[in-house]
Amino acid sequence: MDKSLARAQREHWERTYSEHPGMYGDQPSESAEYAATVSTPGGTVLELGAGHGRDALFFARRGFTVTAADFSPVALDQLGERAAADGLTVTTVVQDVRQPLDLPDASVDTVYAHMLFCMALSTAELEALVGEVRRVLRPGGVLVYTVRHTGDAHYGAGIGHGDDIWENGGFAVHFFSRELVDRLAEGWDLAEVEPFEEGDLPRRLWRVTQRRTD
């Protein structure tokens, strides 16, 4: 990925979280509610791209041990303040997912990412990330991620950056084809690819569930 685009996106998200604290509200996403049902009860959850934490806090309330990772310190500060106010324990980690995950091998039961995979990440970076997810998951562990796909209204619109990445309103999105979903699931048990819609456009997404089998 072009380093200038990655840097611009990080700055854009920092600015957005600073100007709009708690921008996604307090209620968990439907995908987080689903992820809780396929995760080991009371197990460990790593959320990638946690933002200000509406889903991470939900997992903590449900009794999971939660690590919330994001590349925005501003968002993680908001998460930490809310967790403290609610008497919840969530470990926060500043993490650019283009770099190796700062966790030991086979250390978590679930990795969850709501729309993180469809950020400005190249296909090569996504393949490396899925490899890291596989490394930190325990055998039998589950990865649940959601992505906007090529059937979305914004696909092909705005500023094109190549590799099915399109920028609208300052936000760059990697729109997934089904071929890319299958590519990232090679060597995994691909349990489900479920279409759903979210937001006002509405955004068209897939919720992908895959398990580490070895």
State whether residue 167 is helix, strand or coil: strand
Q: Quick check: 109 and 40 in contact, CB under 8 A?
A: yes
The strands making up 165-168's β-sheet, listed across from edge to edge, are 159-162, 165-168, 171-174
- Averaged pLDDT, 29-45: 97
Compute the distance between CA of residue 149 and CA of residue 153 in angstroms, rounded to an integer: 9
User: Residues 69-117: pLDDT tens digits?
Assistant: 999 999 999 999 999 999 999 999 999 999 999 999 999 999 999 999 9
**Mean pLDDT over residues 143-153, rounded?**
97
Cα 121 to Cα 149: distance, rounded to the nearest angstrom: 14
pLDDT mean over 126-151: 98
Structure tokens at 55: 């889903």
Domain definitions of the chain by residue range: 3-148+177-211
At the fourth CATH level, the homologous superfamily of domain 3-148+177-211 is: Vaccinia Virus protein VP39 (3.40.50.150)
What is the model's pLDDT at position 209?
98
Position 211: which residue type? R
